[in-house]
Amino acid sequence: MRQKSQVKKMSKPIDFYFSPTPNGWKISIMLEECELPYNTILMDLKKGDQFQSDFLRISPNNRMPAIVDYNEKSAPVTIFESGAILLYLAEKTGKFIPNSKLGKKKVMEWLFWQVGNLGPMGGQHSHFWNYAPESEKDGYAANRYAEEYDRCFEVLERQLEGQEYIVNEYSIADIISWPWVLIAKAMGRSLDAYPNVTNWRQRVKERPAVRKGVDLMRAKS
């Protein structure tokens, strides 16, 4: 795993469009882990900040997180989607992604696994848990997403058997998945059947940069 920074001193902080959600925390954690200077632009999703024309030019899918990096030789680089941002920052800094082709392949598998499985299932379960009418909270759709969310924990449990992190060493594979496991208990899901996941959840939580990333909303409020 390459850890030596490849970044020259940055002349201007990265603009970071943020709201305190699992997807936002992925990027705040990565920025803290990489020790990159950034300017937090706190978005009020209830007021519809994500639909403003200036933001849509950065994130056409009207979702945060998004970043603008002013430190490239060309025009400012805009990036949306948490997986794409994590990969960009990992390659920019040379941190939390392996050097080897095989090692990078393994990290990318789990990066895309989160994008296609844990994140969407956790997000949809969160919607039903937090916002659905009471009449729909125990319906087919709500139960389907809850079961798929749990299935993702089963996948992680197997992957973490005998190792501390998803791909042996701490990487963007852990950073992208951890926030959706962090909030599982608060959304009514038990992790008691997943001791490897429980231990990994705590292990990542103890990292100073992770604590700073999750506490960002408190620091900015």
DSSP codes of every residue in 85-147? HHHHHHHHHT-SB-SSHHHHHHHHHHHHHIIIIIHHHHHHHHHHHHHS-GGGTTSHHHHHHHH
Model pLDDT, residue 86? 98
- Residue 81 has what DSSP assignment? S
User: What CA dihedral angle connects 200, 203, 205 and 208, to 10 degrees?
Assistant: -150
Residues 77 and 115 in one domain: no
- Residue 78 has what DSSP assignment? E
- pLDDT tens, per residue, the chain with 221 residues: 445 455 556 679 999 999 999 999 999 999 999 999 999 999 999 999 999 999 999 999 999 999 999 998 889 999 999 999 999 999 999 999 999 999 999 999 999 999 999 999 999 999 999 999 999 999 999 999 999 999 999 999 999 999 999 999 999 999 999 999 999 999 999 999 999 999 999 999 999 999 999 999 674 44
Model pLDDT, residue 7? 56
The answer to whether the CB of 111 falls within 8 A of the CB of 176 is yes
Structure tokens at 116: 């296609």
**How many domains is the chain partitioned into structurally?**
2
Longest dimension (CA), the chain: 55
Residues 92 and 166 in one domain: no
Domain around 51: 14-96
Number of continuous H segments (helices) and E segments (strands) in the chain: 10, 4
Residues 134 and 65 in one domain: no
Model pLDDT, residue 76? 95
User: Within 10 A of 131 (CB to CB), how many other CB atoms are there?
Assistant: 9
11 burial type by CB count under 10 A (0-12 exposed, 13-18 middle, 19+ buried) = exposed
Model pLDDT, residue 2? 45
Residue type, position 170, single letter: Y
d(CA 97, CA 90): 6
Beta bridge partners, 14, equal 38
The answer to whether the CB of 14 falls within 8 A of the CB of 37 is yes
Model pLDDT, residue 221? 41
Residues 91 and 130 in one domain: no
Residues 123 and 139 in one domain: yes
At what angle are helices 140-159 and 119-131 packed, to 10 degrees? 140
Residue type, position 164, single letter: E
Model pLDDT, residue 72? 83
- Out of 96, 116, 141, a domain closes at 96
The answer to whether the CB of 71 falls within 8 A of the CB of 11 is yes
Q: Residues for the chain: how many in total?
A: 221
Beta bridge partners, 97, equal 2
Residues 64 and 124 in one domain: no
Query: pTM value?
Result: 0.93
In a domain, 71, yes or no: yes
